[in-house]
Amino acid sequence: MFSVDKMHFEISERKMILRLFDVLFVLSALFITSKVFDFDYFVISSTNYYWTIVLAIYINAFGTIFEMYNLQVASNQFQVLKSTLITVSTTVLVYLLTPFFSPQLPSSRLQILLFFIVMFLALVIWRMLYVNFLASTRFFQKAILICDQDQVQELILGLENIDPHYKIIGFVNTDAFESEIRDYHYVQNIKTEDLFTFVKENSVSEIVIASQKTEGITPELYQHLLHLLESGSIIREYTQVYESKTQRIPVQYMSRDFYRFFPFSRSNQNKLYLLIARAFEIVISFSGLLIGLFLLPLIVFGNAIGNRGRLFYTQERVGKDGVIFEILKFRTMVKNAETNGAVFTSSNDTRITVFGKFLRKTRIDEFPQFVNILKGEMGVIGPRPERPFFVKEIAEIMPFYETRHIIKPGLTGWAQVNYSYGETIDDSLIKLQYDLYYIKHRSIYLDMNIAFKTITTVLFYRGQ
């Protein structure tokens, strides 16, 4: 018999539900309003169906930009209200200002106000239902880890911090040399002989194998896992779960034979994709340079007051196939910032000037890189180019690091929109995981996702 306790949604399913019901609730509310009240601005009929399509696109597009489909945001009531207000305000404004794709502006301002209120209330009601019902514990995805005891905390934090609806409720210890087995305050240790019963009684969704020691999977444990598999339980390897949840490659759990673990995206060699990407880069670069020229007087004035030095600076970076090129940027640091040698830039770096912080936060400092993109040294989207000194230093520690150079570096990238500025070697490892995920899954869809997230980064002033 069907049980709610056994029901759960994957990340992609939750995002699809949010997108679909955002549109359904808004359109249904507008339809009901047009029937009950004297509201004729937005009337749904077979002759103007394109109005609804445009509105649906706007809701999804601006919802993406303002993080309506970020699961952490969607599960928090305060953040939901904030994102909904900004999304509805922007959607209504743009919809009203594009009469070619939407109804003509109404003669009464009350119609516009009613349009806004109905959309806002429809989305708020639906999102509150989601927070209190679909995002509740009854729909959590429960999992069990098969791993060494000293891995438990690291593995759990690595998954649950990304997906708020993924709950690891127990682990089976595979360390044959561990004499003292203990429970952690957030998970229970499960004995091998109790595994099958525990899975069935607790409606566990999947068993995750994270042990890197083959001797840890004893014949007894293997038989229990086989029994669970035959009874319909899902058993997955940790690196697969980690990649699907975090959207980055877990290089710390892989050997040097990386090509055995993740085939790179065919888009990296697809000539049509590369041609479209290059045309996109050229259009974006010319547009960016025009905007930069428009902002140049303000930048020159700010630089003269806040930086008091050269406007531009160049620096060596490593590009595609390891080729060194000169990157062009607006200067954001004080003179002679590296008199003591090259160091990572930190979030509160004292070398960055006040005006430089503004340029970095708004990403305006990177506008000159459109020149690098036109020259073909960079792309709009890709791993951020690093300095040769740091590449050599990091590559000695991380054997996967130079894999980033199989594609052109980018102005923005999957690591930049998902993680803060890299200040340490550990930060570089996390950003590498995102970069390799992009290289593996590179596609037009992922590029569009990065573009939307980049807009979010700029609008919320999150640049580094």
What are the tens digits of pLDDT across the range 308-357?
A: 778 888 999 999 999 999 999 998 887 766 666 566 665 666 778 888 88
Cα 245 to Cα 39, 71, 229, 232, 240, distances in angstroms: 44, 12, 22, 22, 9
Output the pLDDT for position 244: 85
Residue with the bigger pLDDT between 213 and 76: it is: 76
Of 251-265, 301-315, 416-430, which range is least confident?
Answer: 251-265
pLDDT higher than 70, residue 48: yes
Cα 20 to Cα 23, 30, 76, 123, 156, distances in angstroms: 6, 16, 19, 12, 31
CATH architecture of 140-246: 3-Layer(aba) Sandwich (3.40)
pTM assigned to the model? 0.82
- When pLDDT is averaged across residues 218-247 and rounded to a whole number, the result is 87
Output the pLDDT for position 319: 94
User: How far apart, in whole angstroms, are the C-alpha atoms of residue 356 and residue 359?
Assistant: 5
pLDDT higher than 80, residue 247: yes
User: How far apart, in whole angstroms, are the C-alpha atoms of residue 309 and residue 332?
Assistant: 10
- Residue among 31, 72, 25, 74 at smallest CA distance from 51: 31
Instruction: List, in order, residues 6 or more apart from 251 with CB less than 8 Å away.
Output: 258, 398, 400, 429, 432, 433, 436
Query: What tokens were used for 311?
Result: 């406007």
pLDDT higher than 50, residue 2: no
Ranges of each domain in the chain: 4-134, 140-246, 266-459
What are the tens digits of pLDDT across the range 449-462?
A: 999 988 888 887 66
- When pLDDT is averaged across residues 202-208 and rounded to a whole number, the result is 89
pLDDT higher than 60, residue 54: yes
What are the tens digits of pLDDT across the range 132-177?
A: 888 777 788 889 988 888 778 878 877 777 777 888 888 988 875 5
